[in-house]
Structure 1
Amino acid sequence: MNTIFSKLRNLDAYPKINEDFYSRTLSGGVITLASSIVMFFLFISEFRFYLHSVTETKLVVDTSRGETLRINFDVTFPALACSILSLDAMDISGEQHLDVRHDIIKKRIDANGNVIEARQDGIGAPKIEKPLQRHGGRLEHNETYCGSCYGAETSDDHCCNSCEEVRDAYRRKGWGLSNPDMIDQCKREGFLQRIKDEEGEGCNVYGFLEVNKVAGNFHFAPGKSFQQSNVHIHDLLSFQKDSYNISHKINRLAFGEYFPGVLNPLDGVHWTQKTPSGMYQYFIKVVPTVYTDINGHAIQSNQFSVTEHYRDAEFTYPQFLPGVFFFYDLSPIKVTFTEEHVSFLHFLTNVCAIVGGIFTVSGIVDSFIYHGQRVIKKKSEIGKFS
Structure 2
Amino acid sequence: MNRVFSRVRNLDVYPKVNEDFYSRTLSGGVITLASSIAMLFLVFSELELYLKTVTETKLVVDTSRGAKLKINFDITFPAVSCTLLSLDAIDISGEQHLDIKHTVMKNRIDARGNLIQMRYDRIGTPKIGKPIQKHGGEIERNETYCGSCYGAELSVAECCNSCEEVRDAYRRRGWGLMNPDLIDQCKREGFVQRIKAEEGEGCTMYGSLEVNKVAGNFHFVKSFHLENMHLPHESKAFGEDSYNISHKINKLSFGDYYPGIVNPLDGVHWFQKTPNGMYQYFIKVVPTVYTPLRGSVIRSNQFSVTEHYKGPEIGQRTAPGVFFFYDLSGIEVNFTETHTSFLHLLTNICAIVGGIFTVAGIVDSFIYHGQKALKKKREIGKLG
Q: What is the TM-score of this pair, normalised by structure 1?
A: 0.81
**CA deviation string 1:77-130 (max 9, x = no partner):** 122111111111111111111111101111111222221111111335211132
Matches within 5 A, 1:31-50: 31-50=31-50
Q: Contact between 1:172 and 1:226, CA under 8 Å: does it hold in 2?
A: no
Judge which range, 300-309 or 141-150, deviates more. Answer: 141-150
Distance 1:201 1:365 in 2: 79
CA offset at residue 318 of structure 1? 3.0
What is the one-letter code of the residue matched to 1:163?
C
**CA deviation string 1:336-361 (max 9, x = no partner):** 11222212232122223333444456
CA distance 1:215–1:172, shift in 2 (3 Å): closer
**CA deviation string 1:315-339 (max 9, x = no partner):** 7x93521111111111111111122
CA distance 1:140–1:45, shift in 2 (3 Å): same
CA offset at residue 187 of structure 1? 2.5
Distance 1:234 1:66 in 2: 42
CA offset at residue 193 of structure 1? 1.6
Matches within 5 A, 1:1-386: 24-139=24-139, 144-224=144-224, 236=235, 238-295=237-294, 297-314=296-313, 318=316, 320-359=318-357, 362=360
Q: Contact between 1:257 and 1:299, CA under 8 Å: does it hold in 2?
A: yes
CA distance 1:61–1:158, shift in 2 (3 Å): closer
What is the one-letter code of the residue matched to 1:332?
G
Q: Contact between 2:227 and 2:319, CA under 8 Å: does it hold in 1?
A: no
What is the one-letter code of the residue matched to 1:85?
L
CA distance 1:239–1:38, shift in 2 (3 Å): farther
CA offset at residue 286 of structure 1? 1.0
CA distance 1:158–1:339, shift in 2 (3 Å): closer
Distance 1:377 1:121 in 2: 96
CA distance 1:126–1:31, shift in 2 (3 Å): same
Distance 1:227 1:344 in 2: 65
Q: Contact between 1:177 and 1:237, CA under 8 Å: does it hold in 2?
A: no
**CA deviation string 1:127-164 (max 9, x = no partner):** 11323444545455665544443344455554433222
CA distance 1:327–1:29, shift in 2 (3 Å): same
Q: Contact between 2:177 and 2:224, CA under 8 Å: does it hold in 1?
A: no
CA distance 1:289–1:151, shift in 2 (3 Å): closer
CA offset at residue 365 of structure 1? 6.3
What is the one-letter code of the residue matched to 2:53?
S
What is the one-letter code of the residue matched to 2:29?
G
Distance 1:356 1:233 in 2: 83
CA offset at residue 376 of structure 1? 9.2
Matched with 1:11 is none
CA distance 1:344–1:134, shift in 2 (3 Å): closer
Q: Contact between 2:235 and 2:241, CA under 8 Å: does it hold in 1?
A: no
What is the one-letter code of the residue matched to 1:48?
E
Identity of aligned residues (%): 71
* Root-mean-square deviation (Å): 3.6
What count of residue pairs does the alignment treat as equivalent? 366
Q: Contact between 2:176 and 2:228, CA under 8 Å: does it hold in 1?
A: no
CA distance 1:48–1:135, shift in 2 (3 Å): same
Distance 2:313 2:143 in 1: 53
Q: Contact between 1:243 and 1:277, CA under 8 Å: does it hold in 2?
A: yes
Unaligned runs of 5+ in 2: 1-16
CA distance 1:136–1:361, shift in 2 (3 Å): same
Q: Contact between 1:180 and 1:186, CA under 8 Å: does it hold in 2?
A: yes
Unaligned runs of 5+ in 1: 1-16
Q: Contact between 2:106 and 2:205, CA under 8 Å: does it hold in 1?
A: yes
Distance 2:377 2:270 in 1: 77
**CA deviation string 1:253-284 (max 9, x = no partner):** 11111111211111222222222232111111
What is the one-letter code of the residue matched to 1:307?
T
Judge which range, 257-266 or 150-159, deviates more. Answer: 150-159
What is the one-letter code of the residue matched to 1:274?
K
CA distance 1:139–1:24, shift in 2 (3 Å): same
